[in-house]
Each structure stands twice: as C-alpha cells, then as structure tokens.
Amino acid sequence: MKQKQEIRQSADKKVIQFFSSLSDETRLKILLSLTDGPKTVNGIYDYVGRDKVSLSAISHQLKFLSDIDMVQHKRNGQEKNFELSNDFCWCIIKDVFKHFNGDSKKFDGCCGCLDKKSEKRGGGKN
C-alpha cells in the first residue's frame, strides 16, 4: 500500500512538472521549436526570437527541460542538438493547439492513443 502511494505521489509530481513547464511562454516556444526536429541552441534562439529573450535564458530553460527529461540532446562535436524526448506523448500539445485554433469539432484521440488502448481491451473504433 505504501509503495502504491509513493508511486502515485511521484506520478503526481511528474504531471505537475509537465504542465508547469508548459505554463512558461519561453519553455513552450522552445518545445514548439523542436517539433520540427532537432535544433541547436542558436536554432532555438532564432525560433523563439532574439529580440524577445536572451541566449542565456534559452540555455537556462533548456537545462530545466533537460533536467525533467522533456528534451534530450546529442553532441555533434562542440555543438549540442536538442530534441523532444520520446518519453512524452507530445500530441497533447498538438491537440491543445487544434482545440484553441477552432479545429476541435472532431476528437480523434491523441495521435490514435485512445484507439490503441481500446483495441487492447477488445474494443475498436466507433
């Protein structure tokens, strides 16, 4: 019982971290910049807007996102290429943008995640 409670508390903390990270405009823009594929810090800086935030702030936010495993990086010589972590269902963000852009008339699930879960339980598409 105590182990289940600890797992639940850990999950709660991760959910809060995930949504808190999206509540910061700079972090959200960083994540959106990476939806097109891996980018260097300077590539992210260009996407977010050099006139809007400092390079130091981008690096700080990338460290935060990396510490909570939302982004990962690969070294290419002296350069780091950042990309979205595969540990998250990024279609959550896509679905939110679809909703607020007025494209929410038909909910087709999160990249088909709900359909796949339904199929595992013996159900199918309606």
What residue numbers bound the domain in which 101 lies? 89-126
70 and 59 assigned to the same domain: yes
Distance CA(22)–CA(123), nearest Å, equals 33
pLDDT tens per residue across all 126 residues of the chain: 778 887 778 888 888 888 888 899 999 999 999 988 999 999 999 999 999 999 999 999 999 999 988 999 999 899 999 999 987 777 788 888 888 887 655 445 555 554 443 454 454 444
45 and 22 assigned to the same domain: yes
47 and 109 assigned to the same domain: no
9 and 63 assigned to the same domain: yes
Distance CA(124)–CA(116), nearest Å, equals 8
Token pair listed for 92 = 């959550």
71 and 122 assigned to the same domain: no
59 and 45 assigned to the same domain: yes
For the entire predicted model, the pTM comes to: 0.72
Structural domains counted in the chain: 2
